[in-house]
Homo-oligomer: A and B are copies of this chain.
Amino acid sequence: MTVSALQEDVLAANLARPAYGLVTLTWGNASGIDRERGVVAIKPSGVAYPDLRAEDIVVLDLDGRPVGGGGRPSTDTPTHLALYRAFPEIGGIVHTHSTWATAWAQAGREIPVLGTTHADLCDGPIPLTRPLTRAQIDADYEGETATVLIEALAERGPEAVPCALVQGHAPFCWGASPAAAVANAVTLEEVARMALLTTLLRSDSPPLPDFLRQKHYLRKHGPGAYYGQK
């Protein structure tokens, strides 16, 4: 099998994560989907980043049956597949244990909108999943992780909410492409860091007023967005 453009994109997304300081060792994983061919490409499990090549990126169908790439896929593959099945608008998913976002996940707190950097990413708090029950963990841990993520997105959807914190675990981020998911992961980590430092300066910082939050979000993401090149 020749290396596909999808594998190249997913390799680039995986390598961008240590380059941005979001992961170390073999942690985390990034994937992408080719909706036309119905295949998902994802990092192999437990491979160190310097050793990763495009042909190592595992290719699966949406039910997890291997289509290409030699290795065993990431242990978190069922989470990725369930998110792709639930949300046709998602083209790439990134999972990290990035330090500051993980601190919020471990503290069991959603991240409030304390500034415009956050509003540039997301029009509301970064949601926190409910805890997994023992039954969910025993039955299908990785699949049920997607279940609680999907619940957390139910109201606002994956375009308005480009990432969420799995309680006690770490963030998952997504976007229209693997590269867009990486950019959301980079932004989330910075937003998490700023929010934690803000909390140290003032434990009761009020969230941004609605009109400022929406202004920032919409100038970047709304129908009349004027950020970026046309």
Contact = CB atoms under 8 A, between A and B. Distances in A.
A131 interface: yes
A186 B134 contact: no
A142 to B, nearest CB: 9
Interface stretch (A1-9, A148-156, A209-217): A209-217
A223 interface: no
Contact of A71 (B138, B193, B229): B229
Interface residues of A, number: 62
Interface stretch (A30-38, A60-68, A85-93, A200-208): A200-208
Most chain B CB within 10 A, of A46, A132, A194, A195, is at A194
A99 B131 contact: no
Contacts of A105: 115
Contacts of A205: 106-108
A42 interface: no
Interface string A174-214: 00000000010011001001111111111001001101100
Nearest to A214: B137
A71 B229 CA distance: 7
Nearest to A211: B134
- Which 3 A/B pairs are nearest by Cβ-Cβ distance? A46-B228, A103-B197, A107-B201
Interface of A: 20, 24-27, 44-47, 71-72, 75, 97, 99-100, 102-109, 114-117, 131-132, 134, 137-138, 141, 168-170, 183, 186-187, 190, 193-202, 205, 208-209, 211-212, 215, 219, 226-230
